[in-house]
Structure 1
Amino acid sequence: MKQHNTLTLKQFIIRSIGAYFITLVIFCLFIFKVIPGCSLLQSKLVLFLLTVLGFGLIYFEKEDRRNHLSIALNVFMPFGIYTTIAYMQLLPIPLGLVWIILALLDLIYIGFYFYKVKRRNYNSLLEKSQMVIGAASLLSLIIVLSFTLFGSSIIQSSTQVSNNTDTYMRQYDEKSLKNLHHWSKLTRKEKLNTLQTICNNERDYLGIPFRIKVGAGSGLTHSYAQYNNKSKEITFEISQLDHASSTTLLEALLHSTYHAYEYALVDSYDTMSGDYNKLLDYRTIATYKKEFATKVTNKAVNYNQINESNAKAYAAEALQDYQIKFKHTKK
C-alpha cells in the first residue's frame, strides 16, 4: 500500500461510499447468500458489522493512506470475508485454498521480516496483512461470482450425462425409484446423481439432441430449479435440495427438462424453411421463441406464458407416471 495520500479526506470519503454502494448492488444481485444456520436478519447484521470494521480500520491507522488502493481494500475485505463464511460449506476446496495459500505467504513474509529487519515497523506488517486479506477477499468474490453469474452449479452430479438414444417409451431406473423412497437419507451427491439419471431418461424420451447437466447452486429465489440454455444445465436451489421432498424436486426436474425440450424445438424451428414454419403446429414454437427472447421479471407474467404453462402441464402428467411406477417399486 502506498504510504502517501493521493486523495483529500473529502474525496476519499465520497469515493469510498460510492465504491461501497456499487459493490453492494452487485453483491446483492449475484452473490449474497444467507449464512448457514443464521436468519436473513442475522446475516445482514454480520455483513453490516464486517463493513463497519473494514471502513473503521482506515481511521485507526495513519492519515497518509487515503488512496484508491485503500478504498479497494476497505470495500473488498468485508464482502470477501462474508462471502467466504456464507459459501465455505458449498465451495470448501477453492475458497479454502485461496485463504490458506495467501495466509501461508503472509506468514512467510512475516517470518522473513523478523529475521532480516532489525528496526521493525509494525505498521508496515499490518499493511501487508491487510493486502493479503484484501487479495483473498477479491479472489473469493471472483470464485463465487464465476459460479453464480455464469449459470454454473456449485455442486454437480457424478452420474454420467448420457448421449441421446431413440426411445418411444419413458424409461425408469429401478435404483433411482428406490432412492426416491429413501430421499431424506441420501446425501446431496446421491440426490443429484438420482436426478441426473432421471434427467437422462427424460431427455431420451423427449428426443432432446443435446446433453443436460444437473447440479445445485444458490440464488434461485422463486423456484426449486431452473434451466439455463447457454450452459445446458438444470440447477437446483441447494437449500431446497437439502429439505424439499423427492416429489417436489422430481416435478421441478421434469418441468425444467421440458424447458430444455422447448428450447430444442426453437432451435429446430430456426432451421426450417419459411414455407413450413408457418404451419399451425409450429405456431406454438414461434411463441416459445418470442417468449424466450423477452426477459420477464414479473413472476405473474412469467407464470402465464405458454412455455411455462406447457412445462407445468408436462411435469404434472409425467409426475403421475412416476408415482404409479413408484408405488410398484419395492423399497
Structure 2
Amino acid sequence: MTTLVTGAAGFIGYHVCRALLARGGSVIGIDSVNDYYDPTLKHDRIAELERLNSGRFNFKRVDFSDHEALEAALATEDFDRIVHLGAQPGVRYSLQNPRAYIQSNLVGHLNLMELARGRGSSHLVYASSSSVYGNNEALPFRVEDRVDHPVSLYAATKKSDELMSETYAHLYRIPMTGLRFFTVYGPWGRPDMAPWIFTRKILAGEPIQVFNHGDMRRDFTYIDDIVAGVIACHDNPPPDDGGEKAGGSRAPHRLYNIGNHRSEELLRFISVVEEACGKKAITEMMPMQPGDVRDTYADISAIERDLGYAPTTPIDIGIPRFVEWFREYHAR
C-alpha cells in the first residue's frame, strides 16, 4: 500500500512516515518546508527518511494550500490512503499571523478532501487538536463534549476542519478519521514547544518562562504513542452504513482523542526535564498567555474501545529519551 503523508518534514509526519516504511509500505511525503521554525531540522528529517528507506520514500516539496501545485505534483502518483498531518501549528503564533492559519488549515484541508474525493481514497486520516476543547472545565476531555468556544484562531481552524470533514464524509461517503492530539513530544520534536524550549534553556543556563505561575496541567503524549494511534486509525477506516439512500444516516467520519490519559502538573514536568538535563532551571513566573488554556486531559476511551489504543510512555521515560536525542542532535 502507498500512503500520501502531508507534513512529512514535520515532527509527527516524520515519525508516521518512518513507521509506515518500517513495516514495508511505500510513502509519498509532501511538505512546503516553510520557515515557521528553522528549516534545517525539517531537511534533516527528510534526509533521515531518504537514508533509511531508499526507493520507498518519495518526497515532493509542495504547498498543499495551492491546489494547482498540489494536483500537478501528484498527477502521476498513485496512492490509496492519505494521512494529512500538515498544518500551520502553534496557538500563540496565530495571534501574530492569522492569515497563515486560514490558508494552510482551512484552504489546505479543503484541498486534501478534494484530492481524496477525486482519487476515490479509501481513508483520509487528519490531524485535529486538543485545542478545540478551549476552556472546557469538565475533565478529562471527551470527544462527545461540545467544542463551540475555541479560545484561539488555531483551535477555531481545527474545529472547522472537523466540521468540513463531517460534511464531505456525509456527501461523498469518504471515510475520514480526525485525531485530536494532546501535547506531543519526543525525539525530532518542534523547537517552538515546551520540551525543546525548556531543555535548550536549562542546558544553556538561561531562564525559562513559566506561564500562569505554574498553575497549568498538560496531557503530555510521547511520539511513539501518537504514532501507534495514527497507524491504528490508518488501518481501520470508519464503516459506512450506506448513507441516506440506503436508509442510513451516519457519515463515515470518526473523531478520537490521542493522549496519554494523564494530566501532569507543569512544575512536575519541569522537574523531570531538570533531572534529565542534570541542571536546575532558572524560572520566571509569568501570567497566562492569550489563547492558552490551563488544563488538558484526554479521555481516550473511544479509541481504546474501537482500536485497542493504549499509551505506554510516561514523562519519566519519554523526557529522558528526548533530552538524550537533543544532546546527540546538537552534538553533530
Q: How does the TM-score come out when normalised to structure 2? A: 0.23
Higher helix share goes to which structure? 1
Instruction: Answer with 1 or 2: which has the greater Rg.
Output: 1
Of Structure 1 and Structure 2, which has the larger fraction of its residues in strand? 2
